[in-house]
């Protein structure tokens, strides 16, 4: 079935259920607030559902949002590690069919296959991580942290580490390649460094000796791991160590407890970047710098998703996305309106949140440049020291200018 036919099917099914073109008659049957998460269930050893489910369970245990329980559904948008466009379109059609009031905590590589269908019902995508151009500029997208924000941060920190020249290795053939390469280069320049030509390798590559050698020959002393999967992390680190004198920078969410144990001393000195959380806590034990909402989050995760508390911070981003939805739904209910996809979107367009899980968010203001839907342009920097993830400086570094430039 084609993407277009899936979209049309979704609209037809929604019409049969009585949902109009704006989604205004769906979403709160029996007083429940319907949301859907659209991503891969578990990939790279990370569970992107757990944080969303924990937040929903915690809210419902307290009676819901002003007495309205949240009805959470999950839709897998294809196989690991990146999904596929037809599955993404199919899930978007299901969101319309089921009367979802928003997508929450979704992570879609092929989001351009979802937005045309979501637009028919004004279903917003409250995403902790945007990984495609549509996520970063579609009017339905509300992105607290972009994959390109992280990559720009990886470029910036490379320059701040004193590297004379930085390079990135990433997979060839993905629709996100131009944004990955462009945001990285812009981040390096923002930090005052020089950038080498990117090295794009075929899917499934696990030997990075030649890729690292190519970058080193260009004078690179910092290498960014441009892969979102754990499979490439160890061989990239091994190749960098073998080449000598090279620092490796990459995403923080790859550093689960299991990955840290597997890497052992190989992880020492690895520099990690993540979309900013307020006060830059390094892990669940960093309570002295956590906000009150972050402390509550850790309590809720311990209770409702204890198996993922120590596996990395991917659960945090899903939890944080639900808290944004909760604030929007409460705003609708406080105004005496019914929670629908249309009213949630309208609430999001004027929503302002103080430091909470994320740094302060203001959805009423446009974001930088082409990435106008990225509302958190700040990143935190971490480094592995003595086998532990440690915050570098506890500062939120703004890469908004880099996003605008690329």
Q: Tokens for 3?
A: 């993407």
- Distance of alpha carbon 376 from its chain centroid, rounded? 11
Residue 243 contacts residue 213 (beta carbons within 8 Å): yes
pLDDT of 7 > 90? The answer is no
Residue 225 contacts residue 44 (beta carbons within 8 Å): no
Section 379-393 average pLDDT: 92
Sequence-ordered alpha helix ranges (H) in 191-313: 209-217, 233-243, 257-263, 292-304
Q: Tokens for 255?
A: 């550093």
- What's the confidence (pLDDT) of residue 45? 57
Cα dihedral sign for 89, 94, 99, 105? negative
CA 124 – CA 106 distance, rounded (Å): 11
pLDDT of 218 > 90? The answer is yes
- What's the confidence (pLDDT) of residue 191? 93
- What's the confidence (pLDDT) of residue 44? 56
The string of pLDDT tens digits covering residues 65-110 is: 999 999 999 998 887 777 889 999 999 999 999 999 999 999 888 8
The string of pLDDT tens digits covering residues 13-63 is: 333 333 333 333 345 556 899 999 998 877 655 678 899 999 999 999 999
- What's the confidence (pLDDT) of residue 101? 98
The string of pLDDT tens digits covering residues 235-292 is: 999 999 999 989 999 988 888 788 889 999 999 999 999 888 888 888 878 888 899 9
The string of pLDDT tens digits covering residues 193-203 is: 999 999 999 98
Section 141-149 average pLDDT: 82
Section 193-218 average pLDDT: 95
φ/ψ of 106, rounded to 5, equals: -80, 150
Section 127-149 average pLDDT: 80
- What's the confidence (pLDDT) of residue 108? 86
Residue 203 contacts residue 138 (beta carbons within 8 Å): no
Which of 119, 70, 71, 67 minimizes the C-alpha distance to 93? 119
pLDDT band at 188 (very low <50, low <70, confident <90, very high): very high
The string of pLDDT tens digits covering residues 284-320 is: 788 888 999 999 999 999 999 998 876 667 788 899 9
- What's the confidence (pLDDT) of residue 406? 73
Higher pLDDT, 43 or 164: 164
CA 249 – CA 223 distance, rounded (Å): 6
Q: Tokens for 229?
A: 């999967």
Section 170-189 average pLDDT: 88
CA 99 – CA 54 distance, rounded (Å): 22
- What's the confidence (pLDDT) of residue 375? 86
* C-alpha distances in Å from residue 348, one per residue of 312, 319, 364: 28, 17, 8
pLDDT band at 9 (very low <50, low <70, confident <90, very high): very low
pLDDT of 10 > 60? The answer is no
Q: What percent of the chain has pLDDT over 90?
A: 57
Which run of H or of E encompasses 154? helix 147-160
**Residue 162, helix vs strand vs coil:** coil
pLDDT of 176 > 80? The answer is no
pLDDT of 215 > 80? The answer is yes
Residues 86-97 as b or e (16 or more Cβ within 10 Å = b): bbbbbbbbbbbb
The string of pLDDT tens digits covering residues 324-348 is: 999 999 999 999 999 999 999 999 9
**Residue 20, helix vs strand vs coil:** coil
């Amino acid at each position: 079935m084609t993407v277009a036919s899936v979209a049309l099917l979704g609209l037809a099914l929604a019409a049969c259920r009585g949902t109009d073109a704006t989604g205004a008659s769906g979403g709160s049957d029996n007083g429940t607030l319907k949301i859907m998460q659209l991503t891969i269930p578990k990939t790279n050893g990370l569970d992107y559902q757990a944080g969303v489910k924990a937040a929903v369970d915690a809210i419902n245990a307290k009676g819901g949002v002003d007495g309205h329980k949240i009805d959470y559904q999950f839709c897998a948008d294809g196989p690991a590690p990146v999904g596929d466009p037809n599955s993404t379109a199919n899930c978007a059609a299901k969101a319309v069919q089921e009367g979802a009031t928003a997508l929450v905590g979704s992570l879609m590589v092929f989001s351009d296959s979802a937005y045309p269908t979501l637009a028919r019902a004004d279903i917003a995508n409250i995403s902790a991580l945007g990984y495609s151009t549509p996520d970063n500029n579609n009017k339905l997208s509300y992105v607290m942290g972009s994959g390109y924000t992280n990559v720009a941060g990886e470029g910036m920190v490379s320059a701040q580490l004193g590297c004379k020249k930085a390079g990135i290795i990433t997979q060839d053939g993905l629709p996100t390649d131009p944004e990955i390469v462009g945001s990285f280069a812009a981040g390096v320049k923002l930090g005052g460094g020089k950038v080498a030509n990117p090295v794009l390798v075929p899917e499934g590559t696990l030997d990075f000796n030649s890729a690292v050698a190519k970058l080193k020959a260009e004078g690179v002393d910092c290498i960014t791991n441009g892969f979102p999967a754990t499979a490439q992390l160890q061989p990239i680190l091994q190749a960098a160590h073998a080449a000598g004198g090279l620092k490796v920078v990459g995403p923080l969410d790859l550093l689960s407890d299991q990955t840290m144990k597997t890497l052992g001393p190989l992880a020492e000195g690895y520099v990690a970047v993540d979309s900013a959380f307020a006060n830059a806590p390094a892990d669940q034990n960093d309570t002295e710098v956590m906000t009150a909402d972050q402390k509550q989050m850790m309590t809720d995760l311990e209770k409702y998703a204890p198996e993922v508390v120590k596996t990395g911070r991917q659960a945090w981003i899903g939890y944080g996305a639900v808290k944004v939805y909760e604030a929007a739904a409460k705003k609708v209910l406080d105004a005496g309106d019914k929670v629908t996809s249309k009213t949630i979107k309208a609430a999001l367009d004027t929503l302002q949140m103080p430091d909470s899980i994320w740094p302060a968010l203001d959805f009423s203001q446009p974001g930088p440049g082409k990435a106008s839907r990225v509302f958190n342009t700040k990143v935190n920097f971490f480094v592995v020291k003595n086998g532990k993830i440690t915050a570098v400086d506890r500062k939120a570094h703004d890469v908004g200018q880099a996003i605008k430039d690329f």
